Each structure stands twice: as structure tokens, then as C-alpha cells.
Structure 1
């Protein structure tokens, strides 16, 4: 493509919800600056990769996707950032020659480069040289983790609001704390201002996001106080908590969680049901804390959607330890489990821990956990048949199937995926729908419902 044409930018995001928030904001910044946002296969001039370092598979996937995208766009320049870029920039720089690596701690600076890169494209300047110059200039600056403001160019039905970053824990297996640093929090008044702006633009649901929300602390306000401030200050929106530490789910948190403006959905970072393994991981709670948090959530909300993270195959995890994890899940009865096998990460204490659990055993244990999770989700979904649920219609939808109505997908307050039939054309936002049955099992939805 020649000069005087708009810069075409593609984005590829890996990993957590924070990365998603940050990518969405970067895309909005480039769009406002005059760039065209395109898919990775649509002839991009610049491809931005926002990487993850949680597991070695996440890093391998990022490198593979980089090679593939640059093979499909041989003249494109790659800008690589994120947690993997923070900890191992050399590995990413070696993937392809037309690559500029920006550490994850300076990811925010990429948004500030948008206007200059758009101008460079219009003026026919070498995009790689310009990106290298801008990245070098940004390397000495101070990071601003809360410059990622959602919805600068467009809003979605459900928007994630970043209120916290980093983590003061140093869990034995975790590399994220090394990449994102110590816990920092958004000022509560600024969080309220951003939430108010989103609600005024018609966003019906705001997902509060961070590396460790339980460590939120700003101006003497902890996370329970922030949640209550937002719920009472922005009554037109509903708020969802992305995840929380079991030992911090205390009476203050449950008081805020019980408010009607908070979605009845709580994801607990459990990791294991074995006290011995939890100690080895460096977690600050035991299995009883997880169970207490789950029961407390059920005591303040009517049958909430409970989720959990579980790591299997941690070094030294015995058959008895794994049975403790299975027992925890059977008592907790979660409707969702994010189960993954232990991945030894360089720079963490667990990297050299022994004995290693054989990969075959870890995979088998993950399958057992996933089966429990699938059963729990199915039971929870079945319990909603015949009920009326509040849901948020996601952007987009299938072709019209009922005259001037359409079939779309939505997320219920409980975090179930719904296929909603009979939605009026052009409808966008929160709605009520009556659940009539389970979906056909294609993975696009859990339940089928009728718009009412």
C-alpha cells in the first residue's frame, strides 16, 4: 500500500482480562488517531502482540502467532509488548527481523505513539524506523498502568474497568508478579468517574478487573469500599467482580457482594484443595478458607455462580493431595473451574522444586477436574430452566430468524451464556429472558431463552 493511506493496525491478545482491557484501549487510541483497525489476515501495516507469560504454552503460542502473522503480512512491522515482553524481550525480538519489543511495563506508551505512527504512514516514512525511535524514547519514561481507559472510541455491552495492577504476593509458581510489579490501585474517585462515564454511554455491566483485586487499596479505601462506592454511585450499571482471594472474602467483602447492583458471580483463586500444596505454593490460606468463602457467598446471595482456579501437577502433589482437591470441589460445588497443569516458570521458586509430577499424571488429573467442572456447570444451567434471567446482549448476532427479530447471544447475571431468541432488531443492552432449555451443545451457549 502506498503513502497517503491510513495506517492499518491489527491486534493479537494473549492471556488475562487485563491484557484484553489494555488491548481494547490501545485499539481505541489508534482508531481515534486515524488508523484502520483490521484483522491479522487483512493486510496490516502494524501488528501489535500483547503477550502472556503465565505458562510456557502461552509463550510458545505468542511466538507461533507472531511468525504466522508476519508470514501473512510480509511487509508488516510487529510491536510486541505484555508480560512475556517484560521478562524475555530477547526471545521475542529474535522471532522476526521487523520486530520492536516494548516491555510490558511501558505498554501504556504504545497508545501515545499512535498519532506519530499514523502520521509516519501518511508521510511515507519507514514505519519500522519510526517505531524503533518512539520505543527508544519511551524506554526511560515512567509507566502509567491506569492510562488504559475503556471505551474511548466505542463502547460494548460489557466493559472491563481496570482498577488494580500488580501483586504483592510472591507465590512460588507465579511469574506475573515479576512482570507487573507490586500492587497499585486506581484512585476510588477516578474509578467512580470512569464508571459513571461508561454508564452514561449506555454500558449496562462493568467488570472490575485487576491482577489481585483483593489487594486494592487507595486513599484508605479497600476493595469492599470501592465496590460499595461504585454500586451506590452508579445505580444504572451492574458490577461484576472478576476474581478474588478466598482469605480476603471476609464480612466486609460479603457485605458489598450482597448489594443488588453486584452480579451474583464470584470466582475464587483456590489453586488447590490440599493444605500441604497450598503452603508449598506460598498461598496465604487453607482449604477451609476456600470453603468458608463459598458458603459465605451462598449465604448472602441466592445460589450464586461460583468459579475457581485449580492448578494440578504442582511439584510434590501426591495422590492424597489431589484427592483433597477433588474433595474440595465436591464440597464447594462450583459452576465453573479454570483447571490447568503446572508450568515451571523461570525466575520462580517452583521452577526448581522436586519431585516433578509426570506430565501424563498431571494431564489425567486436569481431566478429572474438568469433568467435575463440566458436571457442576450443567447442573447449574439445568437449575435455571423455566426461570427468568437478567442478561446483557453481546454485540453482534445472527441473521434475523423471527421476522424483524433475531437470535443473539447474551451473558446472564450469573455468568451463563445464553442464546436469546426473538430479540428486536437493533436491541442492545440489558434484557430479561425466559430460559426454555439447554443449548444444542455446540459451545456457543449454555441455555436457550426467549426475549421477554
Structure 2
């Protein structure tokens, strides 16, 4: 039995695609092993959003080659698009597979072992031909509904490496959800590059959500990440549905209107606050998480302070913050007022502390309350998983099983780890 190892960087869409590719390999007789172990095939699903992402991808390429120089090494994902010439020039990489052909990674490797050498560009380019994810790395089952983006934010390279926006046929999505639920999935996560801009025939994003919520089955629905301009009142009205999880990842990027305008974002701070307030009028403890870019060109001390203030005001459940990184070919690359790296580092430290304090304040409100936890790891008596608010929970119980829902009363918070909610199973 040949062994295959995966390393995934970046977004949930990459995670979904890796899960599907890993399932394909296992369904055809490959054994899945950790990336730091010796394998016959290494697949690196890369990210190129920042310089740090590129650096990590290169490190994993080197790591795979050290583990087994005779392995088949496949590099795919956004860095494969953005740095294709560089990667194809490296002798240790067998195949550089762009995003359009990513679903054909297994077929490419199978052909390799059969003595048939194809260039990846000749393989299937169906963006939605990934198949099952039942043998992937996640308990939650991700379903891809859309790819690409037409927004062209000035800092973002994604339209260049993922292409223009394209939406999956609605019936294919519904069949995919039905299939994963029938196979035992308890949580379905909708994913894509810009899912709020889903558009297929006369269907929009809120139509997709509504029809999925109407499907039979014991499952709950989660939205992976969405732009603040990507939905309307109809979607907000669906947040009350019992299958809908009370969590949204809304991408803010900056608390300054001036910076948002220069980023070419499609909303302002007033509109963002209106959305958050509408969501929390439905459920006050609704978990809103977000992304922040630190040190975008022209970001002043006042701009940065505005960002810190809105984090405090809106009580985000989590903030994913990263320093702005110049991406070649973007409009922001040509901006002259680049922020000094030392200032970015200082601002990162400040914002991280603000975000951690707000996260702890948000999670403290759940002590004494209950969460419905989907177990991801367990030894039968101790379990780890995520509640409906997408908060990590560790709890004790009896005969606990993976991929099962349990009602848990939160009794404490472990402030040393993340922080994690601590609880006990409710009989």
C-alpha cells in the first residue's frame, strides 16, 4: 500500500479541496500518513496571500524532499499559480498543478505510477469535480459552492490565482449536501472564495442557504467566510433557523473608512456596524469573527487606533490579523506610502493584545450556559469539539463518540489555551 501525505496552507476552500483529494487517494488504496512521516506521495496545497504564506510553502517543499527524495512531490494551490515558473524550475517537484486542475491531482499521480507522464495543464479543469470528503481531515463536511472573485481589492492577489467568479449549479450543491448528510455528516460548511456573490441562473446566496436549511437530516449549517456586502435581509432572516449556527466570519480588514476606500472594499464602517447590530438583534451572543490587515499603505496611527476601537466596540469572538504584504501585480503594490515593517510589528503586538482581551470577554459570557458540541476528538470520557457558536470546548462525559452532538454545560475557561471553554456533558 503506497503512502500519501498532505500539507494545507491558507483558507477553508483549500482545506475542503485537500479533504476531497485525500479521500480520492484513500478510496484508491493509498494510506494517509502525517506530513512529517516518510511517504510515497507528498501533496502541498499552498497559499500565496502573504510573503509568510510563500515562505511556509517553500519550507514544506524542502521538508518533503528531505523525508523521501524519491517520492512524487505535487505542489498545487495559489502559489502554484503565482510562482509557477519558479516552482517548475525546482528539480525536486514533480508536478506543479494550478488551481483549475487541482481536482485531478490523484489522476495525475495514478498516471505517473502507470508510466504515463502528463503535463498538469492537460488534466480536467472542472472547479467543482472534487467528489467525496468523507475520508478527509475534518469532522465538519465542507461543500464548495463558488470559486474566484470579481472584487479586485487593491491588496488582493486572489483574482489572479483563482480567476473570476464562477458559481456551482444549485442542484449539484443540494445533491452534495444530501450525500454528505446521508454519509453521516453532522455539520455542513459552505465554502468558496466569495460565497456571498453566488449567482447561478436566478438563484442567489440566500436562496442556496434557504434550500439547504429545508433539507431533511440531523445536521447544522455553518457559513465559512463572507464579505459584508454579500447578503441582504433575506439571509439575515434565515439566521433564526434551528439548523443555522450562530456564527459568521465577516471580513472587516480595517476600522478606518479612509483605508477601506483605498483597499477598494465595497462597504464602510457604518454599514459594517449596521450588519453586526442587525445580526445581534436576532441573537445577542451571536459570534462575529473577522480578518484585519495591519499596516496597509497610508495607514496612520489614527487609522490603526480606529481599527482597535472597532474591535473593542463590536466584541469580535476572534480576530485573524496579519501584516500587509506586497503582492506583485496588485494596485497596492504601486502605492508609495508603504508602512515601515517595524511599525507593522509594533501595531501587530498592540492589536493582538486588544483582540485577545476582547475574545476572553466574549467567551466569558458562556460560563453557566450550554453549548451543543460536535465532537472531533475523544477517548470516550474526555472530548474536544466546537459548539454551535464555533467556540472550542473540552468536556467530560460518558461513552462519548466522534462526530456526535452532545449538550454541554460550560463551567470554566482555560485561559492558557486559545482560550478553551471547559464543561460537562448534560444528561
**Fold in common (TM above 0.5):** yes
Q: Find runs of 4+ consecutive structure 1 residues off by over 6 angstroms.
A: none
Deviations 1:309-355 (A, max 9, x none): 11110001111111221222222121111111100001111112121
What is the match of residue 187 of structure 2? Answer: 205
Is the aligned partner of 1:299 residue 2:281? Answer: yes
**RMSD, aligned CA:** 1.8
Q: After superposition, where does 1:52-63 map in structure 2 within 5 Å?
A: 52-63=47-58
Q: Quick one: distance in 2 between partners of 1:83 and 1:218?
A: 25
In the other structure, the counterpart of 1:176 is 158
Measure, in 2, the Cα distance between the counterparts of 1:251 and 1:193: 26
Contact 1:156/1:203 (8 A) holds in 2:
no
In the other structure, the counterpart of 2:372 is: 390
Does 2:353 correspond to 1:371? yes
Q: CA deviation at 1:185?
A: 1.2
Deviations 1:99-142 (A, max 9, x none): 3212222112213335434x53xxxx5xxxx4xx12x1x41455
Equivalent position of 1:439 in the other structure: 414
Write out per-residue CA displacement over residues 272-297 of structure 1, whole angstroms, 9 at most, x where no aligned residue.
Answer: 11111111111111111111111011
Alpha-carbon distance in structure 1 between the residues aligned to 2:168 and 2:297: 36
- Mapped to 2, the partners of 1:151 and 1:93 lie a distance apart of 29
User: Once structures 1 and 2 are overlaid, which stretch shifts more, 138-147 or 411-420?
Assistant: 138-147
Task: Give the TM-score of the pair, scaled to structure 2.
Answer: 0.95
TM-score, normalised relative to structure 1: 0.90
Secondary structure in 2 matching 1:377: helix
- Counterpart in 1 of 2:95? 100
Mapped contact 2:69–2:92 kept (Cα < 8 A) = no
How far has the Cα of 1:235 moved from its partner? Answer: 4.5
**1:89 alignment counterpart:** 84
Alignment of 1:41-440 (within 5 A): 41-117=36-112, 120=114, 130=116, 133-134=117-118, 136=119, 138-141=120-123, 143-153=125-135, 157-394=139-376, 396-397=377-378, 399=379, 405-426=380-401, 428-439=403-414
CA contact (8 A) 2:155 2:332 kept: yes
* Deviation string, structure 1 residues 173-215 (Cα, Å, up to 9, x no partner): 1011110111111112211111111111221111111111111
Contact 2:5 2:32 in 1 (8 A): yes
Q: How far apart are the structure 2 equivalents of 1:432 and 1:92? A: 48
Aligned length: 426
Which residue matches 1:3?
none
Determine helix, strand or coil for the equivalent of 1:424: coil
Flag the 1:238–1:202 CA change in 2: closer, same or farther, 3 A. same
- With over 3 angstroms needed to count, the CA separation of the structure-2 counterparts of 1:181 and 1:356, relative to structure 1, is same
Larger mean CA deviation between 149-158 and 236-245 belongs to 149-158
Secondary structure in 1 aligned to 2:251?
A: strand
The answer on whether the counterparts of 2:255 and 2:304 sit within 8 Å (CA) in structure 1 is yes
Q: CA deviation at 1:155?
A: 8.7
Contact between 1:245 and 1:268, CA under 8 Å: does it hold in 2? Answer: yes
Q: In 2, Cα distance between the equivalents of 1:427 and 1:240? A: 19
Q: Which runs of 5+ in 2 are unaligned?
A: none
Residue 373 of structure 2 aligns to a residue in which SS? strand
- Measure the CA separation in 2 of the matches of 1:389 and 1:114: 43
Say if 2:312 and 2:358, in contact at 8 Å, map to a contact too.
no
